[in-house]
Amino acid sequence: MSKPALKLRSWPLTVLYYLLPLGALRPLSRVGWRPVSRVALYKSVPTRLLSRAWGRLNQVELPHWLRRPVYSLYIWTFGVNMKEAAVEDLHHYRNLSEFFRRKLKPQARPVCGLHSVISPSDGKILNFGQVKNCEVEQVKGVTYSLESFLGPRTPSEDLPFPPATPHSSFRSQLVTREGNELYHCVIYLAPGDYHCFHSPTDWTVSHRRHFPGSLMSVNPGMARWIKELFCHNERVVLTGDWKHGFFSLTAVGATNVGSIRIYFDRDLHTNSPRYSKGSYNDFSFVTHANKEGIPMRKGEHLGEFNLGSTIVLIFEAPKDFNFRLQAGQKIRFGEALGSL
C-alpha cells in the first residue's frame, strides 16, 4: 500500500464509513483505502479509561430530591425488582454505586441444599458442558482457549496438580483425579441483575490471578461477535479445590465494570493504571500461618461487580456430573447448576 493510502487509513474515516450511507466513501478505494474492521474499531475504544470515569461518576452523591427519579428510570429500563432489596426506600442510596451494589432480603434467595453446585449469581446461562480440546465456548459456536483464559500453570498456585509432562495438554494438567472430566458454565449478569456473587459450592480458594485486560461489553451479542472476548477482558481468576478436585471461579469485567471486588482480598485493585494490559498479577492465599487457603461455604458472600458482567466456572468432577440447565435460561443465585 502507498504512503498516501496509509495516511488515508484513519479512524475518523472508518467511523464515517460506517455512519454515512453505503457507497459515500467508495471513491477512496481507488487510492487503496480500506476501512478498519468493526471489531478492530471497537477494540480501539479506551474502555478502561471510560470505565474509570464512570466509576468516579457513580461515587458522586446525588441530591435527595434527585434520587427517586434517577433510580426509578434505571428500575424501569432494566426491570429491577426492588421488592427483593433489603432496603426498598430509594432515598437510602446516596449514589449510583450504592444502588448497584444493593443487598437482598435474606429470604429472597434460598440456597439449594440438595445439589453440589449452585449458581453463584443471578443472570443468564450462556453456555455449559464438558471442556473439550482445551477450548471453551463463551456462546454457542464461539470459543476461547482455556490456557489463555486461566493463564499458564505455575508452581506458585499451590494447587494439587499432577506432574506436567512435555506432551500433556493444559486440560489434562487441571484434572487431578483419574476418571474425572473438566466442566464449565458461563453466567451473564445484565445491568438489572443482583450484582453480588457467592460461593457456588464448598471449596477452598488457594490462589488469585488478576489479568488487567480490556473492558469491552460482555453481553451475548458481543460475545458472538468477538472471538476470545473473555480472554481480552480484565478478569479475576480464583482457583482452588473442592471434594472432587480442581475448582475455579472467574469474575470477568466489562465496560463500566472497572471494579471487581473480592471480599476477602484487600490487595486486589482492578482497572488500575499501575497494571499494564497483557500481564497478570498472582497472589497466593496459602501462607506459613494459613496452609489451607480460604475456605468458602456454599452460598457464602464472595464478591461484587459494579453494574453487570460475567461469571465463568471451570471445575473438575466425575463423569456422571449432570447440569440441570438449558442454554439461554434465566437463573438466580442459590438455584441448582448441577450435581452427581
Active site residue 122: yes
Give how far the C-alpha of residue 302 lies from the chain's centroid of Cα atoms, to the nearest Å.
Answer: 14
- Reading phi first (left if > 0) and then psi (alpha if -120 to 50, else beta), residue 151 is in left
What are the backbone dihedrals phi and psi of residue 122, each rounded to the nearest 5 degrees, phi first? -75, 155
Active site residue 202: no
- Residue pointed to by grid coordinates 439449594: 112
Give the whole-angstrom CA distance, residue 77 versus residue 69: 12
Identified catalytic residue from 184, 195, 198, 207: 198
Three cell numbers written together for 147: 490456557
Helices (H), the chain: 3-8, 11-19, 38-43, 47-58, 64-78, 96-100, 146-150, 170-174, 220-225, 229-232
Q: Which of 307, 332, 183 is nearest to 252 (CA)?
A: 307
Active site residue 115: no
Identified catalytic residue from 122, 158, 241, 265: 122
Q: Are strands 310-318 and 245-252 parallel, antiparallel or unpaired?
A: antiparallel
Biggest CA pair distance of the chain: 70
The set of catalytic residues is 122, 198, 309
